[in-house]
Structure 1
Amino acid sequence: MSVDGEAVRLRTEADEPGWEVDPDDEWGVAVIATVGRQLRLRREAVGMRVPEFGAAVGYGDDMVYKIEAGKRIPRQQYLDTADEVLGAGGLISATWEDVKKVRYPKKVRELGKLEEKAAEIGVYECNSVHGLLQTPDHARALFEAAQPPYSQDDVERMVTARLSRQSVFERDPAPSIHFVLEEAVVRRQVGGTMVWRQQLEHLLEVGRLRSVTLQVMPTNSDAHPGLDGKIELLKFPDGTAVGRSDSAFNGRPITDPKQLRILDLRYGTIRAQALPPRESLAFIEQLLGET
């Protein structure tokens, strides 16, 4: 393709990592397949061949075929441009409302839905910075360290999905969110010195939000109920709750009031033993000053 004699590069899969369809996500597969079929039928109805259509929307033939076959998730820009090229009058653009609901992996969507509804979120982390607190580069470094390794497409998709959950901080009214991080987690230089510094700066930024309480558990503290693994507690406006602990109830999400009281007691004990919020932020500031 060329414009005014200059070649225009068409987008390929390499330009959009992380937009593959998860074959284990039945709902996602169905939605993307339906949207792809609508795109193909609309293109054929106006008599456009794939090379012509691809050149018009700025995508290579292979990408067009895969999107129409339901094997690639179309970006909003793709749908909007296709709508204009095919004269669909907004019908194709409107499919983004369905696509965006399945844009991220199923497990992330389910967790994100719970976090979106929660009035209070409590987290204790002993191995890594919690996903709601991670910077993009920190999250990327964690995924890239996995063994066996993820493909780069998978890494980018998971980074995007993880960051999407952080919209919980923008809710109005905002939920009350409590974090307790082990000192070793805060000290670990994931991704190198610069990425680590950016992560510490981000912790300070989030920790100063009125809706957030951030605490650090010092390494020289006494034994506490979180030494066996992370704890998560989400409480909802209707009085219900869901919790999970690596060390209790087989690590499964629980909703039973008796079991939730046990997790609540353990989490309360952990918060009581950690540094107070003001001292925790001062500790992080001190780490930054030492680098």
Structure 2
Amino acid sequence: MPVDGEVRRERLRGETDEPGWEVDPDDEWGVAVVATVGRQLKLRREAVGMRAADFGEAVGYGEDLVYKIEGGRRIPRPEYLDRADEVLGAGGLLAAMKEDVARVRYPKRVRDLAQMEAQAVEMGLYSNHNIHGLLQAEEHMRALFDVWLPGYSEGETERMVAARMARRSIFDRSPAPTLSFVQEEVTLRRPVGGRMVWRRQLERLLEIGKLRNVSIQVLPTDCEEHFGTGGLIEVLKFPDGTAVARSEGAFSGRPVSDPKQLRILELRYGMIRAQALTTRESRAFIERMLGET
């Protein structure tokens, strides 16, 4: 089915010029995935006797981009794979690659973190500077990335937002993991992105806080004895009884799994939770803030 001319021109502009779809040469797994997908696309196209220019016309993208994707130099969009599957009669085999290809766009460190979160059955998360990434509204994410120095390109921002949004699938898992968050009061009061973005973020916290497996607590700024001065703490526990944790202010900030080191971070997180408002008090606190905005 031919693509409308105006739509096709829009796609050509977006796919040819938009940054953020290049392959990171330092990401070995990502390079391998994109190269494999490109090779399969080329083999399928040649098997049906279609020239690159004709194929590009059929799927609605430029010939130059077709060569880049087939050569493993460009990450194909999901809709590109859908159209290629249809045009080449692949029976769903090309479209099935979308999930792996989508993950290539996420920075490697984010993929590693998302993989651990996907396996965890219990998570304890303390944030003292920003609202934790899993709790952030999309508008808030973008506002944070917009003020980062040195600045992200538009494409890099899109990659980071997409990766962080994908991690939110943890709230849809079944069986649901137990998720405990402690947020410093200051992270809720900082109106990053302006008043409307701030309101949306507070609403997001109230939405997530309604989930039965989620606990959100606020640590008041006027707390005199503060056990969170070492910065962010994350404790993840897995089905086999193992765990991993990290803190900005302990063990050089690296993830640890040694039982002695784990106990230290678990103790700190437990003390922080004990100092924070209860979940009921925290919800009321956030509702009052929302009413004041």
Alpha-carbon separation, structure 1, partners of 2:3 and 2:12: 19
2:104 alignment partner, SS class: coil
Aligned pair partner of 2:23 in 13, 21, 24 = 21
In the alignment, is the contact (CA less than 8 A) between 2:182 and 2:218 conserved in 1? yes
Distance 1:225 1:70 in 2: 49
Matching residue within 132, 154, 157 for 1:155 = 157
Of 131, 134, 141, the match for 1:139: 141
Contact 1:12–1:62 under 8 Å retained in 2: no
SS of the equivalent of 1:9 reads: helix
Contact 1:144 1:150 in 2 (8 A): yes
- Counterpart for residue 288 of structure 1: 290
Q: Which moved more, 1:69-78 or 1:129-138?
A: 69-78
User: How do residues 193-212 of structure 1 correspond to structure 2 at under 5 angstroms?
Assistant: 193-212=195-214
Query: What do the CA deviations read for 1:4-51 (whole angstroms, capped 9, x no partner)?
Result: 8x6443414636664332221101101101111221232233332333
Cα shift at 1:76: 2.8
Q: Which amino acid in structure 2 is aligned with residue 117 of structure 1?
A: Q
Q: AA paired with 2:95?
A: S
2:121 to 119, 122, 125: 119
Change (3 A) 1:249 1:82: same
Per-residue deviation at 1:158?
A: 0.6
Following the alignment from structure 2 to structure 1, what is the Cα–Cα distance between the partners of residues 57 and 146? 34
Q: Which moved more, 1:43-52 or 1:197-206?
A: 43-52
Matching residue of 1:81: 83
Aligned partners of 1:17 and 1:156 also within 8 Å:
no
Per the alignment, residue 181 of structure 1 pairs with 183
Answering whether residue 239 of structure 2 is matched by residue 237 of structure 1, we say: yes
The 5-angstrom pairing of residues 56-75 of structure 1 reads 56-75=58-77
Unaligned runs of 5+ in 2: none
Q: Out of 248, 251, 259, which is 1:257 matched to?
A: 259
Counterpart in the other structure of 1:248: 250
Structure 1 length as normaliser, TM-score?
0.93
Q: How does 1:94-109 map to 2 (within 5 A)?
A: 94-109=96-111
Partner of 2:8: 9
Question: Pairwise CA RMSD of aligned residues?
Answer: 1.9
Q: Distance in 2 between matches of 1:12 and 1:139?
A: 28
**1:273 and 2:275 equivalent?**
yes
In structure 2, the CA distance between the partners of 1:13 and 1:166, relative to structure 1 (3 Å rule), is farther
Deviation at 1:108, TM superposition (A): 1.1
Equivalenced residues, count: 289
Q: Deviations over 1:158-197 (max 9, x none)?
A: 1000110110011111111000111110001111111110
Bigger helix fraction = 2
Q: Percent identity?
A: 65
- Structure 2 contact 3–59 (Cα < 8 Å) conserved: no
